[in-house]
Chain A
Amino acid sequence: MNKNEAIQTYLLALADDELILGHRDAEWTGHAPLIEEDIAFSNIAQDEIGHAQALLRIYESLGGNDPDTMGFLRDADEFTCCHFVQMPKGDWAYTIVRQFFFDAAEIIRLRYLKNSTYELIRELAAKIYPEEQYHLLHTQGNVERLGDATEESRRRMQRAVDEAFEQALGLFEKIPGEDVLIDEKIIPDSRTLEAEWLQFVTPVLKRSGLQSPVIETNGTVESNVEPLYGGRQKKHTEHLHKIIEDMQKVYRMIPGAKW
């Protein structure tokens, strides 16, 4: 894989994560536990989908297809999102925990990408970063509030963490072609991101009265569970197939039609 192809592969993986999670987040629009969260999650959904579109524009500038073609005419088994973002929206606890895990990973990744040697990625990362800071503020605050509030909220939040933890590690599954880009300081190493992510989320969960499957030794945190991989290798859950079918339903309905 040459450098250009590696960048395209990387952009696509990030864009697919954002698009699919944004799609999931928007499933709450009109159905959230309180109006304020309807508004907040609709906002987060728009941001994530907007990020996907922006990443795909860079992909296009490198000779790829346009964002709509990539999002709405590509088959499910050509997507490279991790399994984590494909999972059904679950209850509100799962939604909050998933979004918190994702936002934390985003912030950590973007801190590196803001210093990428590749100009278009560097500029986009700088633009996206403040938005993700807001997401993290919102979701982390909710983890802290819900984790330790009532018996029911604690039980639900713990179950969500238990379920989401190994899935979230899938965000750091190696993306094909990564090594070329790491050497050129275009992107960070997935292993570095995972280590920093564990360092970040573990104390937040602990503070919220929630347990995480990690082993802590002398200031380092290691995961104690097997990560859920496969997405970057285009091996997907049945959930992704359903999402893609739903998402592309109208776009593909009439051949040649513009919407």
Chain B
Amino acid sequence: MDVRERTYEEKITEFEARIARGEKIEPGDWMPDEYRKQLIRMIGQHAHSEIVGMLPEGKWIPHAPGFRRKLTLIAKVQDEAGHGQLLYRAAETLGKSREEMLEELLEGKAKYSNVFNYPTPTWADVGMIGWLVDGAAVVNQRMIAKSSYGPYARAMKRICFEESFHIKQGQDLLIKMVYGTEEQKQMAQDALNRWWHPTLMMLGMPDSDSPHLEKLKRWGVKVKTNDELRQEFIDLVVPQLKSVGLNPPDDNLYYDEKTGHWHFTEPDYNELKRVIKGDGPCNKERMEARRKAHEEGRWVRQALAVAKHKREAPAV
């Protein structure tokens, strides 16, 4: 039967049935406008987070102590650029160009992860971003790898693979500090205190405050809820941290034998709302850095476009 002859009701029934069967939706397939819009928004935000996320750690590249740390950190931040590139490409399959998405980011119309609006005052923050932020990202991304949009799900597989290295690098960096001098250990604990709540917030608003959740789940955009992801992350990371003597800053953190989960104090979601709206400690700084790079690089992008045109032009 020709797709064009069918009613919207029929098309969406078939679309939802495909998702229920676990099939992937591919770029040329029919999809509801809202699905397309939600995915462009999500993938775009994800791509922006990778690109903005290069800044807080990138700041420490000039100061990384020793050859190994310096090389590892450059490689890590480079990976984030690669993830951004991959994700912009995935979003482009839905009909929006990278340049458009970047302009929206710089105009403050597009969002990126709250977590990159926090400062990185010490070397230990580099490790904590790897351990916690990348740790939480992998929990989220493993879910997305199972989501319904093919290009996004496939991009996630590769990204998760690289992110799991980043987590190990972060752990390695911090373990060295924890078993180093008193001052080093304190630096590691201070960094944990700084990153704990922003990382918990990074997994999104609580389910009770997620109006689109039901539809996003039905369409396979989200396979798990934010609260489920947060608990999964806590259960994973708390024993890891405790095993090396690092303690999350939560007096009500305990293992609940009955539920088999760690009980924790929810972060302040009003802070999350504020930071996402643009009022976090480093929003301005991050956007200024991105804007500067974008503006200063404009002549290069223009020149390369002209050069490409010249090359492709037929010889006269």
Interface positions of A (Cβ within 8 A of B): 23, 26-27, 29-39, 42-43, 45-46, 49-50, 52-53, 67-68, 71-72, 91-92, 145-146, 148-150, 152-153, 156, 243, 246-247, 249-251, 253-254, 256-259
Known: A32-B293, A72-B66, A250-B63. A152 touches B74 (CB 8 A): no
One of B9-17, B54-62, B211-219 at the interface:
B54-62
Interface contact A146-B300, CB-CB below 8 Å: yes
Complex Cα gap A259–B62 (Å)? 15
Complex Cα gap A249–B123 (Å)? 10
Interface contact B78-A34, CB-CB below 8 Å: no
Within B21-74, which residues are at the interface with A (CB < 8 Å)?
51, 54-55, 58, 61-67, 69-71, 74
Interface contact B181-A156, CB-CB below 8 Å: no
**Across the interface, which residues of B come within 8 angstroms of A33, CB to CB?**
293, 296-298, 300-301
- Which of B51, B61, B303 interacts with A26 by CB under 8 Å? B61
Interface positions of B (Cβ within 8 A of A): 51, 54-55, 58, 61-67, 69-71, 74-75, 77-78, 81-82, 84-85, 88, 123, 173, 176-177, 180-181, 183-184, 289, 292-293, 296-304, 306-308, 310
Known: A145-B303, A149-B306, A153-B303. A35 touches B66 (CB 8 A): no
A-B contact pairs, 15 of them (CB 8 A): A26-B74, A27-B61, A27-B62, A29-B58, A29-B81, A30-B55, A33-B297, A34-B304, A42-B78, A46-B74, A145-B303, A149-B307, A150-B303, A246-B62, A259-B65
**Across the interface, which residues of B come within 8 angstroms of A27, CB to CB?**
61-62
Interface contact A38-B54, CB-CB below 8 Å: yes
* Closest 5 pairs (CB-CB, A-B): A33-B297, A42-B78, A153-B303, A149-B303, A30-B54
Complex Cα gap A167–B162 (Å)? 39
- Known: A71-B66, A146-B304; 17 extra A-B contacts, CB below 8 A, are A26-B70, A29-B61, A34-B297, A34-B304, A39-B78, A42-B75, A42-B77, A43-B78, A92-B299, A145-B307, A146-B303, A149-B310, A150-B299, A150-B303, A247-B63, A254-B183, A259-B176
Complex Cα gap A152–B173 (Å)? 44
**Across the interface, which residues of A come within 8 angstroms of B292, CB to CB?**
31
**Across the interface, which residues of A come within 8 angstroms of B177, CB to CB?**
259
Interface contact B181-A30, CB-CB below 8 Å: no
- Which of B62, B82, B84, B298 interacts with A23 by CB under 8 Å? B62
**Across the interface, which residues of B come within 8 angstroms of A256, CB to CB?**
181
Measured between C-beta atoms, what is the minimum distance from A252 to chain B in Å? 8
Measured between C-beta atoms, what is the minimum distance from A113 to chain B in Å? 21
Interface contact A250-B65, CB-CB below 8 Å: yes
Known: A31-B292, A33-B293. A153 touches B78 (CB 8 A): no
**Across the interface, which residues of B come within 8 angstroms of A253, CB to CB?**
65
Interface contact B74-A156, CB-CB below 8 Å: no
**Across the interface, which residues of A come within 8 angstroms of B184, CB to CB?**
254, 257
Q: How many A-B residue pairs have CB under 8 A?
A: 143
**Across the interface, which residues of A come within 8 angstroms of B306, CB to CB?**
149-150, 153
Complex Cα gap A33–B299 (Å)? 9
Complex Cα gap A43–B1 (Å)? 51
Interface contact A34-B75, CB-CB below 8 Å: no
Most B CB contacts (10 A, CB to CB) among A33, A45, A91 go to A33
Measured between C-beta atoms, what is the minimum distance from A39 to chain B in Å? 5
Interface contact A49-B65, CB-CB below 8 Å: no
**Across the interface, which residues of A come within 8 angstroms of B75, CB to CB?**
42, 46
Complex Cα gap A240–B307 (Å)? 35
- Which of B66, B70, B82, B299 interacts with A152 by CB under 8 Å? B299
Complex Cα gap A34–B301 (Å)? 7
Report the nearest B residue to A67, measured CB to CB.
Answer: B67
Complex Cα gap A207–B283 (Å)? 45
Report the nearest A residue to B300, measured CB to CB.
Answer: A33
Interface contact A35-B74, CB-CB below 8 Å: no
Complex Cα gap A34–B308 (Å)? 15
Interface contact A150-B302, CB-CB below 8 Å: yes
Complex Cα gap A251–B68 (Å)? 12
Measured between C-beta atoms, what is the minimum distance from A224 to chain B in Å? 28
Measured between C-beta atoms, what is the minimum distance from A100 to chain B in Å? 15
Complex Cα gap A68–B61 (Å)? 16
Complex Cα gap A50–B67 (Å)? 8
Report the nearest A residue to B84, measured CB to CB.
Answer: A35
Interface contact B63-A42, CB-CB below 8 Å: no
Report the nearest B residue to A33, measured CB to CB.
Answer: B297
**Across the interface, which residues of A come within 8 angstroms of B78, CB to CB?**
29, 38-39, 42-43, 46
**Across the interface, which residues of B come within 8 angstroms of A150, CB to CB?**
299, 302-303, 306
Complex Cα gap A259–B296 (Å)? 35
Known: A29-B74, A43-B78. A251 touches B66 (CB 8 A): yes
**Across the interface, which residues of A come within 8 angstroms of B66, CB to CB?**
68, 71-72, 251, 259
**Across the interface, which residues of B come within 8 angstroms of A257, CB to CB?**
180-181, 183-184
